[in-house]
Amino acid sequence: MMTTLAPAALPVSRRAAVDLAAVREQWGDLLAAINHRPAAEWPPREARGFLDQLAADDRAEDDDAMPVEAVVGRLPLTIREHPAPLNLDALDAALAVERDLFGLADAVAEQVQRSIRPARGAHGRFISDQVDAADPARWHPPTHRDAGPASAASAGSRAYGLHWAAVWLEGRALGEDMGDVFEPMSARLLDEVAATARRARHTIERALGRNGRTTTLDEPCPFCRGQLAAHTRPGGEPVVTCSTGEACEAPVDLDGRRRAWRGADLVGLWVALSAKR
């Protein structure tokens, strides 16, 4: 990967890349949340385990370097059917994120993507170079027969889903070397990409209840009967703490003066809670 950005732009480009990656990593959770009623328990608005597996499967399929063909399951939400969604907040958030990132990709492509080269056809007429047009690094905006989105003739690159839009935008923000297909972003455009990526990330985390809150769990600590509290932080991993403090015998490290479960340790906590039930 080769960056063509000025040194002063690198912090902005890296921040945009981190936020776009967070959008991709949580997109599977948000799509699954549309079909689940908002839950009061912790983790919030998730079906534990199922969503993590769904997101992992989604990332494994969609994080390839280049798309090859559209897959129905990745079609934009705007052209899918949504029979009686159970979580309208999640659906609204997903539609807003799609609209913002797809629109941003269209705008970035218009400003930094080279036009398709001309070529001579069989009868000597100038036509579009089909090889250049089919370059998988290109972003293709949707096409319309007439005015308005209702008359869309082709979804363009949007047919590859939100994951690909985020990957493509990340590449442009980081200045990936794709020959002469792209020009470097201007500072103003890079700021717009970073701001839109940050807003999309916050929208998803707010819809999933990951934007910073504390939830008191109904069940006591399985190791000492202390009060358990679950904490989510924007951009940070979730953590559960026990109110007993250092006297709690849970086999996890202290966070300050409290036992804390995070990452893989949370699995052990759920197992212990299930055993107590």
* Cα gap 142→189, rounded to integer Å: 21
Q: Is 213 helix (H, G, I), strand (E, B) or coil?
A: strand
Quote the pLDDT of residue 238: 82
Preceding peptide of 43 cis, ω within 30°: yes
Residue 28 maps to a domain: yes
- Chain segment 19-71, per-residue pLDDT in tens: 999 999 999 889 888 888 776 555 544 434 433 444 444 444 444 444 444 44
Domain boundary, last residue among 207, 226, 257: 207
CB count, 10 Å around CB of 91? 19
Output the pTM of the full model.
0.68
Do 151 and 191 belong together in one domain? yes
Q: How far apart are CA 80 and CA 83, in angstroms?
A: 10
In a domain, 1, yes or no: no
| Domain tally, the chain | 2
Do 228 and 198 lie in a common domain? no
220 and 127 in a common domain = no
Q: Looking at residues 75-100, what average pLDDT do you find?
A: 83
- Regarding whether 96 and 201 lie in a shared domain, the answer is yes
- 147 plus 256 within the same structural domain: no
- For residue 121, being part of any structural domain is answered with yes
Domain boundary (167, 187, 207) is at 207
Q: Are residues 202 and 235 in the same domain?
A: no
Q: What confidence score (pLDDT) does residue 86 get?
A: 78
Going by C-alpha positions, the residue among 92, 80, 126 that lies closest to residue 208 is: 92
> In this structure, is residue 151 part of a structural domain?
yes
151 and 265 fall within a common domain? no
164/202 same-domain check: yes
* Proportion of the chain above pLDDT 70, given as a percent: 73
> Quick check: 225 and 245 in contact, CB under 8 A?
no
Tell me, yes or no, whether 190 and 262 share the same domain. Answer: no
Q: What average pLDDT does this structure show over 62-91? A: 64
DSSP 108-170: HHHHHBPPPPEEE-TTS-EEE-HHHHT-TT-----EESSSSGGGEEE-GGGGG-HHHHHHHHH
Q: What is the pLDDT of residue 277?
A: 81
Does residue 53 form part of some domain? yes
Taking the CA of residue 99 as centre, how many other CA atoms within 13 Å lie in the half-sphere pointing to its CB? 9
Of the listed ranges 50-59, 98-107, 126-135, 177-186, the least confidently predicted one is: 50-59
Q: What's the average model confidence in pLDDT over 150-178?
A: 87
Q: Residue 256 burial (CB < 10 Å; 0-12/13-18/19+)?
A: exposed
- Does 2 fall in a domain? no
78, part of any domain: yes
Please state, rounded to an integer, the average pLDDT across all residues of the chain.
Answer: 80
Instruction: Note whether residue 176 is domain-resident.
Output: yes
Do residue 126 and residue 16 come from a single domain?
yes
Residue with tokens 């990593």, as numbered in its chain: 25
Among 161, 177, 207, which residue terminates a domain? 207
- Do 19 and 145 have their domain in common? yes
Q: What is the H or E stretch that residue 60 is in?
A: helix 50-62
pLDDT band at 204 (very low <50, low <70, confident <90, very high): very high
User: Do 73 and 108 belong together in one domain?
Assistant: yes
Q: How far apart are CA 40 and CA 45, in angstroms?
A: 7
**For residue 74, what is the DSSP state?**
G
Average pLDDT score over residue span 241-249 = 93
Q: By residue range, what is the domain housing residue 260?
A: 213-276
